[in-house]
Protein backbone atom coordinates (compact mmCIF):
# COMPACT_ATOMS: atom_id res chain seq x y z
CA UNK A 1 0.00 0.00 0.00
CA UNK A 2 1.36 3.41 -0.98
CA UNK A 3 0.12 6.09 1.43
CA UNK A 4 -0.02 9.87 0.90
CA UNK A 5 3.42 10.47 2.43
CA UNK A 6 4.91 7.82 0.18
CA UNK A 7 3.20 9.41 -2.81
CA UNK A 8 4.58 12.80 -1.88
CA UNK A 9 8.09 11.37 -1.53
CA UNK A 10 7.74 9.32 -4.69
CA UNK A 11 6.71 12.41 -6.63
CA UNK A 12 9.75 14.25 -5.28
CA UNK A 13 11.95 11.28 -6.17
CA UNK A 14 10.64 11.21 -9.75
CA UNK A 15 11.05 14.99 -10.00
CA UNK A 16 14.50 14.85 -8.39
CA UNK A 17 13.52 17.45 -5.81
CA UNK A 18 14.05 15.51 -2.55
CA UNK A 19 16.52 16.95 -0.05
CA UNK A 20 19.01 14.71 1.79
CA UNK A 21 16.71 13.99 4.77
CA UNK A 22 13.70 13.26 2.58
CA UNK A 23 15.80 11.03 0.35
CA UNK A 24 17.02 9.01 3.35
CA UNK A 25 13.45 8.70 4.61
CA UNK A 26 12.30 7.58 1.16
CA UNK A 27 15.07 4.96 0.90
CA UNK A 28 13.95 3.51 4.24
CA UNK A 29 10.36 3.40 3.05
CA UNK A 30 11.46 1.54 -0.10
CA UNK A 31 13.03 -1.19 2.05
CA UNK A 32 9.87 -1.47 4.17
CA UNK A 33 7.36 -1.36 1.34
CA UNK A 34 7.71 -3.85 -1.56
CA UNK A 35 4.99 -2.13 -3.60
CA UNK A 36 6.81 1.16 -3.36
CA UNK A 37 10.04 -0.60 -4.33
CA UNK A 38 8.39 -2.03 -7.45
CA UNK A 39 7.03 1.39 -8.41
CA UNK A 40 10.42 3.04 -7.99
CA UNK A 41 12.12 0.32 -10.04
CA UNK A 42 9.66 0.82 -12.85
CA UNK A 43 9.80 4.62 -12.67
CA UNK A 44 13.56 4.32 -13.16
CA UNK A 45 13.18 2.21 -16.31
CA UNK A 46 10.43 4.16 -18.08
CA UNK A 47 12.63 6.53 -20.05
CA UNK A 48 14.25 3.89 -22.27
CA UNK A 49 11.06 2.42 -23.80
CA UNK A 50 9.48 5.84 -24.20
CA UNK A 51 12.57 7.10 -25.99
CA UNK A 52 12.08 4.53 -28.74
CA UNK A 53 9.57 6.73 -30.51
CA UNK A 54 9.85 4.78 -33.77
CA UNK A 55 8.54 1.57 -32.15
CA UNK A 56 5.84 3.50 -30.33
CA UNK A 57 4.65 5.14 -33.53
CA UNK A 58 4.56 1.76 -35.26
CA UNK A 59 2.47 0.31 -32.44
CA UNK A 60 0.10 3.26 -32.56
CA UNK A 61 -0.39 3.00 -36.29
CA UNK A 62 -0.99 -0.75 -36.19
CA UNK A 63 -3.48 -0.26 -33.36
CA UNK A 64 -5.30 2.39 -35.40
CA UNK A 65 -5.50 0.03 -38.38
CA UNK A 66 -6.75 -2.76 -36.13
CA UNK A 67 -9.36 -0.47 -34.53
CA UNK A 68 -10.53 0.74 -37.93
CA UNK A 69 -10.82 -2.83 -39.17
CA UNK A 70 -12.67 -3.88 -36.03
CA UNK A 71 -15.22 -1.09 -36.30
CA UNK A 72 -15.74 -1.70 -40.00
CA UNK A 73 -16.38 -5.41 -39.38
CA UNK A 74 -18.92 -4.42 -36.72
CA UNK A 75 -20.51 -2.19 -39.33
CA UNK A 76 -20.52 -5.02 -41.81
CA UNK A 77 -22.27 -7.21 -39.26
CA UNK A 78 -25.03 -4.69 -38.69
CA UNK A 79 -25.54 -4.10 -42.37
CA UNK A 80 -25.35 -7.76 -43.21
CA UNK A 81 -27.46 -8.75 -46.20
CA UNK A 82 -27.88 -12.30 -45.03
CA UNK A 83 -31.21 -11.59 -43.29
CA UNK A 84 -34.39 -10.92 -45.22
CA UNK A 85 -32.70 -11.07 -48.65
CA UNK A 86 -35.79 -10.03 -50.66
CA UNK A 87 -36.28 -6.84 -48.68
CA UNK A 88 -32.62 -6.03 -48.96
CA UNK A 89 -32.53 -6.60 -52.71
CA UNK A 90 -35.54 -4.32 -53.08
CA UNK A 91 -33.91 -1.69 -50.86
CA UNK A 92 -30.65 -1.92 -52.77
CA UNK A 93 -32.54 -1.52 -56.05
CA UNK A 94 -34.28 1.56 -54.68
CA UNK A 95 -30.99 3.08 -53.51
CA UNK A 96 -29.42 2.48 -56.94
CA UNK A 97 -32.45 4.06 -58.60
CA UNK A 98 -32.26 7.14 -56.37
CA UNK A 99 -28.51 7.34 -56.92
CA UNK A 100 -28.90 7.15 -60.68
CA UNK A 101 -31.56 9.83 -60.76
CA UNK A 102 -29.43 12.09 -58.57
CA UNK A 103 -26.47 11.58 -60.89
CA UNK A 104 -28.55 12.33 -63.97
CA UNK A 105 -30.22 15.41 -62.58
CA UNK A 106 -27.45 16.88 -60.44
CA UNK A 107 -24.15 15.83 -62.04
CA UNK A 108 -21.50 15.01 -59.43
CA UNK A 109 -22.23 15.71 -55.74
CA UNK A 110 -22.11 19.35 -54.72
CA UNK A 111 -18.72 20.77 -53.75
CA UNK A 112 -19.98 21.91 -50.36
CA UNK A 113 -21.20 18.41 -49.52
CA UNK A 114 -17.95 16.76 -50.50
CA UNK A 115 -15.99 19.38 -48.63
CA UNK A 116 -18.04 18.76 -45.50
CA UNK A 117 -17.58 15.03 -45.88
CA UNK A 118 -13.81 15.09 -46.27
CA UNK A 119 -12.67 18.15 -44.38
CA UNK A 120 -11.17 17.63 -40.95
CA UNK A 121 -9.13 20.38 -39.32
CA UNK A 122 -5.42 19.50 -39.09
CA UNK A 123 -4.20 18.69 -35.61
CA UNK A 124 -2.15 21.43 -33.98
CA UNK A 125 1.59 21.25 -34.27
CA UNK A 126 2.81 20.02 -30.89
CA UNK A 127 5.10 17.04 -31.12
CA UNK A 128 7.48 17.61 -34.01
CA UNK A 129 10.11 19.39 -31.99
CA UNK A 130 12.92 18.94 -34.44
CA UNK A 131 11.32 21.26 -36.96
CA UNK A 132 12.64 24.77 -37.31
CA UNK A 133 9.64 26.43 -35.73
CA UNK A 134 9.67 25.12 -32.21
CA UNK A 135 11.90 27.75 -30.73
CA UNK A 136 9.55 30.55 -31.75
CA UNK A 137 7.36 31.42 -28.81
CA UNK A 138 4.92 33.40 -31.02
CA UNK A 139 4.36 30.26 -33.01
CA UNK A 140 3.68 28.30 -29.82
CA UNK A 141 1.18 30.96 -28.75
CA UNK A 142 -0.47 30.81 -32.16
CA UNK A 143 -0.74 27.03 -31.85
CA UNK A 144 -2.44 27.45 -28.48
CA UNK A 145 -5.00 29.73 -30.09
CA UNK A 146 -5.39 27.26 -32.93
CA UNK A 147 -5.89 24.38 -30.46
CA UNK A 148 -8.53 26.42 -28.67
CA UNK A 149 -10.25 27.09 -32.01
CA UNK A 150 -9.51 30.79 -31.69
CA UNK A 151 -8.70 31.14 -35.39
CA UNK A 152 -8.85 34.92 -35.45
CA UNK A 153 -5.94 35.16 -33.03
CA UNK A 154 -3.99 32.24 -34.52
CA UNK A 155 -4.28 33.88 -37.97
CA UNK A 156 -3.32 37.28 -36.54
CA UNK A 157 -0.04 35.94 -35.13
CA UNK A 158 0.78 33.55 -37.96
CA UNK A 159 0.29 36.26 -40.60
CA UNK A 160 3.50 37.90 -39.38
CA UNK A 161 5.54 34.67 -39.78
CA UNK A 162 4.86 33.62 -43.33
CA UNK A 163 8.56 32.97 -44.04
CA UNK A 164 8.08 29.90 -41.92
CA UNK A 165 6.22 27.16 -43.84
CA UNK A 166 4.67 25.63 -40.73
CA UNK A 167 3.27 29.04 -39.79
CA UNK A 168 2.00 29.62 -43.32
CA UNK A 169 0.33 26.18 -43.36
CA UNK A 170 -1.54 26.83 -40.12
CA UNK A 171 -2.38 30.33 -41.29
CA UNK A 172 -4.05 28.76 -44.33
CA UNK A 173 -5.96 26.35 -42.11
CA UNK A 174 -7.04 29.18 -39.84
CA UNK A 175 -8.30 30.97 -42.96
CA UNK A 176 -10.24 27.88 -43.99
CA UNK A 177 -11.85 27.81 -40.57
CA UNK A 178 -12.70 31.50 -40.95
CA UNK A 179 -14.20 30.66 -44.35
CA UNK A 180 -11.76 32.89 -46.21
CA UNK A 181 -11.05 30.25 -48.86
CA UNK A 182 -9.30 32.50 -51.45
CA UNK A 183 -6.73 33.52 -48.80
CA UNK A 184 -6.32 29.88 -47.72
CA UNK A 185 -5.67 28.88 -51.35
CA UNK A 186 -3.09 31.61 -51.71
CA UNK A 187 -1.07 30.33 -48.72
CA UNK A 188 -1.52 26.64 -49.47
CA UNK A 189 -0.17 27.17 -52.99
CA UNK A 190 3.04 28.61 -51.51
CA UNK A 191 3.41 25.68 -49.09
CA UNK A 192 2.86 23.05 -51.78
CA UNK A 193 5.30 24.79 -54.14
CA UNK A 194 8.05 24.56 -51.53
CA UNK A 195 8.88 20.84 -51.64
CA UNK A 196 11.40 20.97 -48.80
CA UNK A 197 8.98 21.44 -45.91
CA UNK A 198 7.11 18.88 -43.83
CA UNK A 199 3.67 20.23 -44.67
CA UNK A 200 3.70 19.83 -48.45
CA UNK A 201 1.56 16.68 -48.45
CA UNK A 202 -1.04 18.04 -46.07
CA UNK A 203 -1.13 21.36 -47.87
CA UNK A 204 -1.87 19.59 -51.18
CA UNK A 205 -4.81 17.78 -49.66
CA UNK A 206 -6.30 20.94 -48.13
CA UNK A 207 -5.69 22.84 -51.35
CA UNK A 208 -7.76 20.24 -53.24
CA UNK A 209 -10.54 20.64 -50.67
CA UNK A 210 -10.45 24.42 -51.07
CA UNK A 211 -10.82 24.03 -54.84
CA UNK A 212 -13.78 21.71 -54.30
CA UNK A 213 -15.40 24.18 -51.96
CA UNK A 214 -15.06 27.00 -54.48
CA UNK A 215 -16.40 24.77 -57.27
CA UNK A 216 -13.13 24.62 -59.18
CA UNK A 217 -13.43 20.91 -59.90
CA UNK A 218 -10.82 20.77 -62.68
CA UNK A 219 -8.09 22.15 -60.40
CA UNK A 220 -9.27 19.92 -57.56
CA UNK A 221 -8.99 16.87 -59.79
CA UNK A 222 -5.50 17.71 -61.00
CA UNK A 223 -4.33 18.33 -57.42
CA UNK A 224 -5.89 15.06 -56.25
CA UNK A 225 -4.33 13.16 -59.17
CA UNK A 226 -0.90 14.39 -58.05
CA UNK A 227 -1.62 13.17 -54.53
CA UNK A 228 -3.00 9.81 -55.64
CA UNK A 229 0.07 9.12 -57.77
CA UNK A 230 2.54 9.74 -54.94
CA UNK A 231 3.52 8.20 -51.59
CA UNK A 232 1.39 10.83 -49.90
CA UNK A 233 -0.36 10.04 -46.60
CA UNK A 234 -3.62 11.23 -48.17
CA UNK A 235 -3.25 8.91 -51.14
CA UNK A 236 -6.24 6.67 -50.35
CA UNK A 237 -8.51 9.58 -49.51
CA UNK A 238 -7.49 11.32 -52.73
CA UNK A 239 -8.38 8.25 -54.80
CA UNK A 240 -11.71 7.99 -53.03
CA UNK A 241 -12.51 11.65 -53.54
CA UNK A 242 -11.44 11.52 -57.19
CA UNK A 243 -13.85 8.65 -57.78
CA UNK A 244 -16.65 10.76 -56.40
CA UNK A 245 -15.76 13.69 -58.59
CA UNK A 246 -15.67 11.57 -61.78
CA UNK B 1 -4.60 -3.09 -52.86
CA UNK B 2 -1.02 -2.49 -54.05
CA UNK B 3 1.39 -5.38 -53.48
CA UNK B 4 4.77 -4.66 -51.95
CA UNK B 5 8.09 -6.49 -52.26
CA UNK B 6 9.91 -7.72 -49.15
CA UNK B 7 12.36 -4.82 -49.47
CA UNK B 8 9.51 -2.28 -49.70
CA UNK B 9 7.78 -3.88 -46.72
CA UNK B 10 10.89 -3.70 -44.53
CA UNK B 11 11.49 -0.10 -45.58
CA UNK B 12 7.84 0.71 -44.95
CA UNK B 13 8.03 -0.71 -41.42
CA UNK B 14 11.06 1.47 -40.69
CA UNK B 15 9.46 4.61 -42.16
CA UNK B 16 6.05 3.85 -40.58
CA UNK B 17 4.42 4.02 -44.01
CA UNK B 18 0.64 3.75 -43.61
CA UNK B 19 0.08 2.05 -46.96
CA UNK B 20 2.66 -0.65 -46.21
CA UNK B 21 1.30 -1.19 -42.70
CA UNK B 22 -2.24 -1.44 -44.10
CA UNK B 23 -0.95 -4.03 -46.54
CA UNK B 24 0.85 -6.01 -43.81
CA UNK B 25 -2.26 -5.98 -41.63
CA UNK B 26 -4.72 -6.98 -44.33
CA UNK B 27 -2.45 -9.61 -45.88
CA UNK B 28 -0.93 -11.27 -42.83
CA UNK B 29 -3.06 -10.59 -39.77
CA UNK B 30 -5.73 -13.14 -40.87
CA UNK B 31 -3.02 -15.85 -40.91
CA UNK B 32 -1.84 -14.88 -37.41
CA UNK B 33 -5.45 -14.76 -36.25
CA UNK B 34 -6.21 -18.24 -37.49
CA UNK B 35 -3.01 -19.57 -35.87
CA UNK B 36 -3.78 -17.98 -32.50
CA UNK B 37 -7.45 -19.00 -32.61
CA UNK B 38 -6.46 -22.60 -33.37
CA UNK B 39 -4.38 -22.48 -30.15
CA UNK B 40 -7.22 -21.20 -28.03
CA UNK B 41 -6.48 -17.47 -28.23
CA UNK B 42 -8.91 -14.71 -29.17
CA UNK B 43 -8.73 -11.90 -31.76
CA UNK B 44 -7.15 -9.45 -29.31
CA UNK B 45 -4.50 -12.03 -28.29
CA UNK B 46 -3.75 -12.46 -31.97
CA UNK B 47 -3.41 -8.71 -32.51
CA UNK B 48 -1.08 -8.34 -29.50
CA UNK B 49 1.20 -11.06 -30.84
CA UNK B 50 0.98 -9.74 -34.40
CA UNK B 51 1.82 -6.18 -33.33
CA UNK B 52 4.69 -7.46 -31.21
CA UNK B 53 6.04 -9.43 -34.17
CA UNK B 54 6.05 -6.38 -36.47
CA UNK B 55 7.76 -4.25 -33.80
CA UNK B 56 10.37 -6.98 -33.22
CA UNK B 57 11.04 -7.04 -36.98
CA UNK B 58 11.52 -3.25 -36.91
CA UNK B 59 13.98 -3.58 -34.04
CA UNK B 60 15.78 -6.41 -35.85
CA UNK B 61 16.07 -4.39 -39.09
CA UNK B 62 17.40 -1.36 -37.21
CA UNK B 63 20.30 -3.42 -35.89
CA UNK B 64 21.63 -4.68 -39.22
CA UNK B 65 20.37 -5.31 -42.77
CA UNK B 66 17.99 -8.25 -43.00
CA UNK B 67 18.26 -10.61 -45.96
CA UNK B 68 15.35 -13.02 -46.11
CA UNK B 69 15.51 -16.42 -47.83
CA UNK B 70 11.74 -16.71 -47.61
CA UNK B 71 8.70 -14.54 -48.29
CA UNK B 72 8.02 -11.76 -45.81
CA UNK B 73 4.73 -13.40 -44.82
CA UNK B 74 6.48 -16.66 -43.95
CA UNK B 75 9.04 -14.81 -41.86
CA UNK B 76 6.41 -12.75 -40.06
CA UNK B 77 4.40 -15.86 -39.34
CA UNK B 78 7.47 -17.51 -37.78
CA UNK B 79 8.03 -14.49 -35.56
CA UNK B 80 4.35 -14.59 -34.56
CA UNK B 81 4.70 -18.26 -33.62
CA UNK B 82 7.86 -17.71 -31.58
CA UNK B 83 6.31 -14.86 -29.65
CA UNK B 84 3.15 -16.87 -29.07
CA UNK B 85 5.22 -19.82 -27.81
CA UNK B 86 7.22 -17.54 -25.58
CA UNK B 87 4.09 -16.02 -24.08
CA UNK B 88 2.51 -19.44 -23.66
CA UNK B 89 5.60 -20.66 -21.84
CA UNK B 90 5.38 -17.72 -19.49
CA UNK B 91 1.68 -18.47 -18.92
CA UNK B 92 2.38 -22.09 -18.24
CA UNK B 93 5.11 -21.24 -15.76
CA UNK B 94 2.71 -18.93 -13.99
CA UNK B 95 -0.11 -21.40 -13.89
CA UNK B 96 2.12 -24.44 -13.30
CA UNK B 97 0.41 -26.31 -16.09
CA UNK B 98 2.47 -28.92 -17.90
CA UNK B 99 1.16 -29.23 -21.42
CA UNK B 100 2.26 -31.33 -24.34
CA UNK B 101 1.25 -28.82 -27.05
CA UNK B 102 4.49 -26.85 -26.73
CA UNK B 103 6.47 -29.64 -28.41
CA UNK B 104 4.99 -28.87 -31.80
CA UNK B 105 6.63 -25.42 -31.84
CA UNK B 106 10.13 -26.44 -30.83
CA UNK B 107 11.66 -26.24 -34.30
CA UNK B 108 10.52 -22.67 -35.04
CA UNK B 109 13.23 -20.94 -33.08
CA UNK B 110 15.92 -22.22 -35.51
CA UNK B 111 14.65 -19.90 -38.22
CA UNK B 112 16.42 -16.65 -37.39
CA UNK B 113 18.44 -15.95 -34.30
CA UNK B 114 18.68 -12.28 -35.22
CA UNK B 115 15.11 -11.47 -34.35
CA UNK B 116 15.21 -13.66 -31.23
CA UNK B 117 18.09 -11.56 -30.00
CA UNK B 118 16.17 -8.35 -30.71
CA UNK B 119 13.11 -9.82 -29.07
CA UNK B 120 14.92 -10.66 -25.84
CA UNK B 121 16.87 -7.39 -25.77
CA UNK B 122 13.73 -5.31 -26.08
CA UNK B 123 11.33 -7.46 -24.13
CA UNK B 124 11.01 -5.22 -21.06
CA UNK B 125 10.93 -2.10 -23.14
CA UNK B 126 8.25 -3.50 -25.44
CA UNK B 127 6.23 -4.63 -22.47
CA UNK B 128 6.10 -1.07 -21.14
CA UNK B 129 5.37 0.35 -24.60
CA UNK B 130 2.36 -1.93 -25.00
CA UNK B 131 0.84 -0.21 -21.98
CA UNK B 132 2.00 3.28 -22.89
CA UNK B 133 -0.07 3.35 -26.07
CA UNK B 134 -3.21 2.70 -24.02
CA UNK B 135 -2.75 5.88 -21.97
CA UNK B 136 -4.82 8.91 -22.96
CA UNK B 137 -3.45 11.08 -25.78
CA UNK B 138 -2.84 13.84 -23.23
CA UNK B 139 -0.71 11.60 -21.02
CA UNK B 140 1.22 10.26 -24.00
CA UNK B 141 1.97 13.78 -25.24
CA UNK B 142 2.99 14.98 -21.80
CA UNK B 143 5.32 12.05 -21.10
CA UNK B 144 6.77 12.29 -24.57
CA UNK B 145 7.58 15.98 -24.15
CA UNK B 146 9.05 15.23 -20.74
CA UNK B 147 11.25 12.45 -22.15
CA UNK B 148 12.42 14.85 -24.86
CA UNK B 149 13.72 17.12 -22.10
CA UNK B 150 11.26 19.89 -22.83
CA UNK B 151 11.13 22.12 -19.75
CA UNK B 152 8.05 22.15 -17.53
CA UNK B 153 7.61 25.82 -18.39
CA UNK B 154 7.60 25.08 -22.10
CA UNK B 155 5.25 22.11 -21.72
CA UNK B 156 2.87 24.34 -19.76
CA UNK B 157 3.06 26.91 -22.55
CA UNK B 158 2.43 24.36 -25.29
CA UNK B 159 -0.49 22.77 -23.47
CA UNK B 160 -1.94 26.05 -22.27
CA UNK B 161 -1.89 25.10 -18.57
CA UNK B 162 0.03 26.09 -15.45
CA UNK B 163 3.44 24.65 -14.53
CA UNK B 164 2.09 23.12 -11.32
CA UNK B 165 -0.62 21.39 -13.33
CA UNK B 166 2.04 19.94 -15.65
CA UNK B 167 4.02 18.59 -12.68
CA UNK B 168 0.92 17.06 -11.09
CA UNK B 169 -0.26 15.60 -14.38
CA UNK B 170 3.14 14.20 -15.23
CA UNK B 171 3.24 12.34 -11.92
CA UNK B 172 -0.30 11.04 -12.45
CA UNK B 173 0.49 9.85 -15.96
CA UNK B 174 3.64 8.05 -14.83
CA UNK B 175 1.69 6.45 -12.01
CA UNK B 176 -1.05 5.35 -14.40
CA UNK B 177 1.53 3.73 -16.64
CA UNK B 178 3.28 2.04 -13.72
CA UNK B 179 -0.03 0.72 -12.35
CA UNK B 180 -0.99 -0.70 -15.75
CA UNK B 181 2.37 -2.42 -16.07
CA UNK B 182 2.28 -3.91 -12.56
CA UNK B 183 -1.29 -5.13 -13.04
CA UNK B 184 -0.27 -7.11 -16.14
CA UNK B 185 0.08 -10.81 -15.40
CA UNK B 186 3.38 -10.91 -17.29
CA UNK B 187 5.04 -8.27 -15.12
CA UNK B 188 6.43 -10.63 -12.46
CA UNK B 189 7.97 -13.00 -15.01
CA UNK B 190 9.76 -10.21 -16.73
CA UNK B 191 10.74 -7.75 -14.05
CA UNK B 192 11.02 -9.61 -10.74
- Residues B8-62 pLDDT 10s: 999 999 998 989 999 999 999 999 999 999 988 999 999 999 999 999 999 999 9
B191/chain A closest Cα distance in angstroms: 9
> Which sign, positive or negative, has the C-alpha torsion B172, B175, B180, B181?
positive
The pLDDT score that the predictor gives to residue A195 is: 65
The pLDDT score that the predictor gives to residue B52 is: 94
Same domain, residue pair B131 and B94: no
The pLDDT score that the predictor gives to residue A127 is: 43
- Within a domain: residue A86? no
Same domain, residue pair A125 and A233: yes
Please name the residues between 109 and 138 in chain A that touch chain B, using a CB distance below 8 Å: 126-127, 129, 137
Same domain, residue pair B149 and B113: no
Question: Given an 8 Å threshold on Cβ–Cβ distance, is A49 in contact with B128?
Answer: yes
Q: Which of A15, A59, A65 sits opposite B129 (nearest CB)?
A: A59
Same domain, residue pair A128 and A235: yes
Question: Given an 8 Å threshold on Cβ–Cβ distance, is A11 in contact with B128?
Answer: no
The pLDDT score that the predictor gives to residue B113 is: 59
Question: Given an 8 Å threshold on Cβ–Cβ distance, is A61 in contact with B191?
Answer: no
- Within a domain: residue A66? no
Most confident of A193-207, A218-232, B7-21, B96-110: B7-21
ipTM of model over 0.90: no
Q: How many CA atoms lie within 13 A of A32 on its CB side?
A: 10
Give the domain-ending residue among B101, B121, B141.
B121
Please name the residues between 72 and 111 in chain A that touch chain B, using a CB distance below 8 Å: none
By C-alpha distance, the chain B residue nearest A58 is B16
Is residue A129 over pLDDT 60?
A: no
Same domain, residue pair B143 and B113: no
Ranges of H-type helices in chain B: 6-15, 18-38, 43-63, 72-95, 113-121, 123-132, 137-147, 152-159, 163-183, 187-191
Give the number of domains in chain B. Answer: 2
A144/chain B closest Cα distance in angstroms: 6
Residue A14's pLDDT band, with cuts at 50, 70 and 90, is confident
- The parent domain of residue A25 ranges over 4-45
Give the number of domains in chain A. Answer: 2
Mean pLDDT of chain B: 83
- The parent domain of residue B36 ranges over 1-121
For B90-137, write each residue's pLDDT tens digit. Answer: 666 655 443 444 455 554 545 555 677 778 888 888 999 999 988 887
The pLDDT score that the predictor gives to residue A17 is: 82
Amino acid sequence: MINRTDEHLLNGYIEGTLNQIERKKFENRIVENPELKQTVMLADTLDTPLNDWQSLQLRKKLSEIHERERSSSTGRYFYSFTKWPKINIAAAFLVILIGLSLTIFRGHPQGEDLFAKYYEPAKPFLMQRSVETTGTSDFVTAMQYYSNKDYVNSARILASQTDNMAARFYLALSMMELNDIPKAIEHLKVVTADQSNLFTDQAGWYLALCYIKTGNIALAKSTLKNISGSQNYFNDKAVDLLNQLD
Amino acid sequence: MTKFSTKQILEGIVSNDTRVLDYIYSSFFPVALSFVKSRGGCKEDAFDVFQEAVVVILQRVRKSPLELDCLFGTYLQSVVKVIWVHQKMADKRRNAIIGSEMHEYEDIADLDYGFLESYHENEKSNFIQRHFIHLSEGCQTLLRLYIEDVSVREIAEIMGVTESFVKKKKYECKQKLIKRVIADAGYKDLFL
